[in-house]
Structure 1
Amino acid sequence: MLLTLTAEAGGNWSDASDLGYLLHKHPDKVQEFDLSVGTATVMYPEVAEARCTVALMLDVDPIELVRSRMRRGRDGFALGQYVNDRPYAASSMLAVALGRVFTTALAGTCRSHPELVDRPARLTIRVPVLPSRGGPDLPARLFGPLGWTVTAVPVPLDVELPEWGASEYVDLTMLATLTVSEALRHLYVLLPVLDDVKHYWVGVEETEKLVRTAGEWLPEHPEAELISARYLAHQRELVQTVADLLSDGTDAGRDDPVRPRDPRLADLRADAVLAVLAEAGAARVVDVGCGDGRLLRELLARPQFTRIVGVDVSEGELQRARRRLRADELSDAGRERLSLLQSSVLYRDSRLTGFDAAVLMEVIEHVDLARLPALERSVFGEIRPRTVVVTTPNSEYNGLYPTLAVGEFRHSDHRFEFDRSQFREWAETAASTYGYTVELAGVGPLDESVGAPTQLAAFTREGANE
């Protein structure tokens, strides 16, 4: 399978080769990534200031296809598992490869050049062999409303026998002026929709993934019903769940009592944290204050995280996490990867040492300010991982929530909420005290006056990579 993405200089993009920063893939390198279905290769066949092209090739392992029932051909004949289009035509496998290889770009995160994230670029997508199960006009019906100019040329069944007519595949070319993150999210959702087959089990987690990735544009899309049905493998209960989530604007599993302007804020936070972990190359991760396991579920879905520990002071929250993760149904290998521990981040716990990264996602604001130094000593001084990721609300943004009174916190259990200067001062002081460097970023819709609703700090221990 092959997909190319080309960026051209113009408008806010003076140098098209900046695409490499957003994708976090160096243009001078050919990189390979092992996936459960085969090997993904990323290379740049064209790099110049005026035009830059990245190619993603997925080499599917045919033996693995046969071993897994979910990855077999869609045809019902006896040799369908051996004779199929899975290794050649773009499908949900290519969508999964996009998600694994370009995690940072999909999340809309670029720590080295954050100013590029929200800049639309002139983009061209090319997929030479794409299933279009619904006719050659289906790609235009799906991508057109999202701002793409679509050209889908039917691929003949046999070029030597034109009388046989066209196949159900098209050679797709699309042009648009969008951010790279928007373009990748469109592909991530709609490639499996065009194929109308998913190579992996579709459960309730897919509803949350669909809302997280397409929640901004799906409700108004003229083909919303078709997209939801195909993305969720025509499971009516799951499709109805997505319809309910999109109709009332709620964010499943979110504890905040205030509805933000962007209902996907909790998901955007998780995406941003995952992007930092991926960039840091973390394999062993401890989620401190894991709650009901939202982030743990995302970590489990990514094989690069080989050891995952969720920690919470509340046994009730840990029980919720066990149910969400279906911990009792995990395989032996899954149980080896995942542990859930009851513990407090304010005290020393030797079980939490030896990890590559620690995550405190919406945790510090639940600790009394007087006890924050104890948390710092525990995380940065005792656990002391190579990478620490902290997210917390930006109190300056609270004024944009119409249901919040002046001075009110976003959650009744918050002990404080930092503004941007306070968070910067805290993060830089903690980093200096314990031998870390720190980079700050915003998560969520950016307001010119007050910033983003969530603040993120990525700490890296000095000398950790030496």
Structure 2
Amino acid sequence: MLFTLRATGPHASGLGYLLHKHPDKLQTFPLAFGRAHVFYPEAADEAVTAALLVELDPVALVRGRPGSSEGGLVDQYVNDRPYAASSFLSVAIAQVLGSALAGRCKDRPELVATPIPLEAKLSAVPCRGGAALLRALFEPLGYEVTAERMPLDERFPAWGEGAHHDVTLRRSCPLVELLSHLYVLVPVLDDDKHYWVGDDEVEKLVYHGEGWLATHPEKELIARRYLKHRTRLARAALDRLVAGEAKDPDAEASAHAEEEAAIEAPVRLDEARLDAVARALSDEGAVTVLDLGCGEGKLIGKLVRNRTFTRIVGVDVSQRALDVASERLKLDRHGGRKSERVELLHGSLLYRDARLSGFDAAALVEVIEHLEPSRLGALERVVFEHARPRVVVVTTPNAEYNALFAALPAGRMRHKDHRFEWSRAEFEAWAGGVAARHGYAVRLAPIGPIDETLGSPTQMAVFSR
């Protein structure tokens, strides 16, 4: 799939700064479902064109998709997904152009809010509603819309036209506005998403819809389609948008993490956890390590000081957290030496990802408790069945110890985003089941000061095979 963005006028040359991509370079980025390439077909003072080309692996999509046995064998492999501008494009925009989508530009911050004459072209947009829906979605936002319906097959005109359109959008606006509109509305046009939709998608819709979606005449259709017709989620999103409750989910997560750190501060638990995990990885002889749910890169910062670890890859679903990690680790300020050993990837731990294979070890530090219990099975398959490192280290809070935190009200969990906190017996049962199902041995270890009755504040499982 191909997305091109053309800027004209006196600020056109700033497009490279806004996208954080240099016009003289062809850059390639790995994605969970393929690769993305960014290049500039045009780069002049008064006009700059940037292109995002997304390559999908259709076979990998079928093999890694839940329920892939449904439908005919041909339907599974012969479809428009690798070529159509769908939710895959939205994910690629978030991963590859994440800073621009978030409205951040360190080198030229004044450009973020500057209106620029922009022209966006999307090839092969699946539009379930035709050109009329395209206009209904984009014209109220001030775009000039051109849509050309594509034939089913150019070689056989008699077959007629298909449901896909070549789309051009023109508007003078800040780049962040255009990217936010595309991020939300491309999956709406397709009326489908390639991944599971839950409460986190409500947060994304509310955040990226701030300032425009609450007053859009098609807001109910947009919310319904974006959230895969889950009525409860669509209503919750619209209620929050109308009430003006849009929040940056990444910033909110950081605030909650700070609250948790304050609760645990008396026992210096954050540092103790990182030390224990780093020591376990070293004791197991790991050389290449995945930090799954790496957040702002604290564990990576500790591991990189040990030259035994030759490759360290952090993965997180939050682009903002990865940006913070990159700054914290100073990956661009060490003459390339540190960046040769450290890599940061944007991705979900709930979907099979070929980029996670081939590592000695993986660490999940305070990650599992942020997932709904019903989704732990998906995480288990991604890590222990597909990625399958020789060693996996998992830490999680011990719910029994919470009674000893004076700053934590009775019955409340340590972090507002925690979906559960397990007792020692519950964690032991889960770890034992995972080990048995996937051929690992497992040992449990306490982290932090130990109470004779309530145990330690953090519990760790080290899986090995």
Q: TM-score, normalised by structure 2?
A: 0.59
Matches of 1:265 and 1:85 in 2, distance apart?
A: 33
- Name the residue aligned to 2:6: 6
Matches of 2:236 and 2:50 in 1, distance apart?
A: 36
Matches of 2:208 and 2:350 in 1, distance apart?
A: 16
Superposed CA deviations along residues 383-427 of structure 1, whole A, max 9, x for unmatched, are: xxxxxxxxxxxxxxxxxxxxxxxxxxxxxxxxxxxxxxxxxxxxx
Match for 1:331 among 369, 374, 380? Answer: 380
Report the AA paired with residue 264 of structure 1.
K
Match for 1:173 among 157, 168, 174? Answer: 168
CA, structure 1 residues 9+223, in 2 after alignment: closer, same or farther (shift >3 Å)?
A: same
CA, structure 1 residues 98+195, in 2 after alignment: closer, same or farther (shift >3 Å)?
A: same
Match for 1:105 among 100, 104, 109? Answer: 100
Q: Does the CA contact (< 8 Å) of 1:70 and 1:199 recur in 2? A: no
- Equivalent residue of 2:197, what SS? coil
Match for 1:79 among 67, 74, 98? Answer: 74
Superposed CA deviations along residues 178-198 of structure 1, whole A, max 9, x for unmatched, are: 111111111111111111121
Q: Does the CA contact (< 8 Å) of 2:35 and 2:55 recur in 1? A: yes
- Name the residue aligned to 1:67: 63
Match for 1:264 among 235, 247, 272? Answer: 247
Match for 1:228 among 223, 230, 241? Answer: 223
Q: Does the CA contact (< 8 Å) of 2:125 and 2:165 recur in 1? A: yes
- Name the residue aligned to 2:24: 28
Matches of 1:234 and 1:169 in 2, distance apart?
A: 22
| Structure 2 residue runs without a partner (length 5+) | 255-317, 332-345, 357-361, 385-391, 399-465
Shift of 1:249: 3.0
Shift of 1:125: 0.3
- Equivalent residue of 1:155, what SS? strand
Shift of 1:268: 5.6
Superposed CA deviations along residues 127-146 of structure 1, whole A, max 9, x for unmatched, are: 12111111122211111111
CA, structure 1 residues 65+136, in 2 after alignment: closer, same or farther (shift >3 Å)?
A: same
Match for 1:121 among 93, 116, 123? Answer: 116
Match for 2:203 among 198, 202, 208? Answer: 208
Are residue 46 (structure 1) and residue 42 (structure 2) matched?
yes
Superposed CA deviations along residues 215-241 of structure 1, whole A, max 9, x for unmatched, are: 321111111111111111111222122
Matches of 1:112 and 1:233 in 2, distance apart?
A: 38
Report the AA paired with residue 46 of structure 1.
E
Q: Does the CA contact (< 8 Å) of 2:117 and 2:170 recur in 1? A: yes
Match for 1:185 among 180, 184, 188? Answer: 180
Match for 1:152 among 139, 144, 147? Answer: 147
CA, structure 1 residues 328+160, in 2 after alignment: closer, same or farther (shift >3 Å)?
A: closer
Matches of 1:8 and 1:209 in 2, distance apart?
A: 30
- Equivalent residue of 2:76, what SS? coil
- Equivalent residue of 2:77, what SS? coil
Matches of 2:326 and 2:30 in 1, distance apart?
A: 16
Shift of 1:89: 1.1
Report the AA paired with residue 9 of structure 2.
A
Report the AA paired with residue 166 of structure 2.
D
Matches of 2:189 and 2:393 in 1, distance apart?
A: 34
- Equivalent residue of 1:81, what SS? helix
Report the AA paired with residue 126 of structure 2.
P
- Equivalent residue of 1:153, what SS? strand
Matches of 1:337 and 1:91 in 2, distance apart?
A: 36
CA, structure 1 residues 299+323, in 2 after alignment: closer, same or farther (shift >3 Å)?
A: closer
Report the AA paired with residue 331 of structure 1.
E
Listed as ranges, the matches of 1:379-458 within 5 Å are none
- Name the residue aligned to 2:15: 19
Match for 1:93 among 83, 88, 95? Answer: 88
Shift of 1:9: 1.7
- Name the residue aligned to 1:277: 324
CA, structure 1 residues 104+340, in 2 after alignment: closer, same or farther (shift >3 Å)?
A: farther
- What is the count of residue pairs matched by the alignment? 308
- Equivalent residue of 2:75, what SS? coil
Matches of 1:118 and 1:279 in 2, distance apart?
A: 24
Report the AA paired with residue 29 of structure 1.
K
Matches of 1:308 and 1:46 in 2, distance apart?
A: 43
- Name the residue aligned to 2:241: 246
Matches of 2:182 and 2:193 in 1, distance apart?
A: 14
- Equivalent residue of 1:199, what SS? coil
CA, structure 1 residues 122+264, in 2 after alignment: closer, same or farther (shift >3 Å)?
A: same
- Equivalent residue of 1:80, what SS? helix
Shift of 1:247: 3.2
Matches of 1:143 and 1:282 in 2, distance apart?
A: 40
Shift of 1:51: 0.4
- Equivalent residue of 1:210, what SS? helix
Matches of 1:68 and 1:275 in 2, distance apart?
A: 25
Q: Does the CA contact (< 8 Å) of 2:250 and 2:321 recur in 1? A: no
Q: TM-score, normalised by structure 1?
A: 0.59
| Structure 1 residue runs without a partner (length 5+) | 251-262, 285-296, 311-317, 343-466
CA, structure 1 residues 4+298, in 2 after alignment: closer, same or farther (shift >3 Å)?
A: closer
Matches of 1:149 and 1:216 in 2, distance apart?
A: 20
Shift of 1:277: 2.8
